[in-house]
Amino acid sequence: MLAYLKRFLALPTAALGLVALVLLALAAIFAPQLANQNPYDLASIDILSSRLPPGTASVDGYIHWLGTDDQGRDLLSAVLYGLRVSLTVALVATSIALVIGVVAALFASYFGGKVDAILMRLVDLQLAFPSILTALVLVALLGTGLDKVIIAITLSQWAYFARTLRSAAMVERTKEYIDAARTLKFSSSRIMFRHLLPNSVAPLAVVIVVEIASAISLEATLSFLGVGLPITEPSLGLLISNGYSYMLAQQYWLSVYPGLVLLLLLLSVNLIGERMRQMNNPWG
């Protein structure tokens, strides 16, 4: 594990990505402690101080480092809470998708035959559509809201996990240790989860990281388009969208700062994923 980390950090961009991600994650976790105000607490925001430029001092004595939004919220606080929402949605959706994908892939590769054929047709069907389209249609049919967005992201992602793990597991299942486990009359679930899974997990790790990034991006897009999270739970995408209307009035900070945080978040996750992919590659 330590050797892996050392090799991982050998590439400066990967190290940078990891540091940035850790900082962002800490900022998201400790948002309530770091923020000047709770942006959802209507009592603490003042509509009179709406759209103040960055650096303005507030009536309560602290400084709005990133200015305020159209409701008079401190933008820094809103961004911290938005980061929290974005990360939570992405992690929850990816985890559910991962579980579904892993179970489907293990069943497909272990039982083979008809089970495999049916499950993989489903995967093909899913992969035939770009995830943004799947998510849009699901949101269109189910309605908007936190749970609907998570369902939409999950459904547009599980197939990637299923396909990756299946192709790795297909190679593993023909190996002798699986025959040995079968001869020992281990139960199917024990062979699937204790033998097949741990041995085919390496390529899956890369896909997990990449999919977390795409979940963040998908949620931001949905929220930006106004068909994602409700206004009561502003994620980064929603903050950008809110600020966008004031862009033409030169009040750039409303969109630009949440946008930069989103950029940093996505880049750091993708840099990590890229390095992991490189390390799996024999020429890396």
Check binding of 16 to other proteins (CB under 8 A): no
Which string of x and - marks every residue 118-147 that binds other proteins (by CB under 8 A)? -------x--xxx-xx--xx-xxxx-----
Q: What residues have CB less than 8 Å from 22, skipping those under 6 apart?
A: none
Buried b (16+ CB within 10 A) or exposed e, 17-27: bbebbeebbeb
Element housing 20 (H / E)? helix 12-29
Q: Which two tokens stand for residue 149?
A: 């967005």
Check binding of 20 to other proteins (CB under 8 A): no
Among 20, 27, 151, 227, binds other proteins (CB under 8 A): 227
Instruction: Answer positive or negative: Cα dihedral of 132, 138, 144, 149.
Output: negative
Q: Which two tokens stand for residue 129?
A: 């559509």
Contacts of other proteins in 160-219 (CB under 8 A): 213, 217-218
Question: Which of 256, 279 has the CB closer to other proteins?
Answer: 256
Question: Which of 181, 279 has the CB closer to other proteins?
Answer: 279
Question: Which of 18, 196 has the CB closer to other proteins?
Answer: 18
Question: Which of 11, 181 has the CB closer to other proteins?
Answer: 11
> Residues 203, 168: contact at Cβ < 8 Å?
yes
Which of these, 198, 199, 208, lies nearest to 276 by C-alpha position?
A: 208
- Minimum Å gap between C-beta 42 and other proteins is 26
> Residues 67, 254: contact at Cβ < 8 Å?
yes
Check binding of 257 to other proteins (CB under 8 A): no
Q: Where along the sequence are the contacts to other proteins (CB under 8 A)?
A: 125, 128-130, 132-133, 136-137, 139-142, 213, 217-218, 220-221, 224-227, 237, 240, 244, 247-248, 250, 252, 255-256, 259, 262-263, 266-267, 269-271, 274
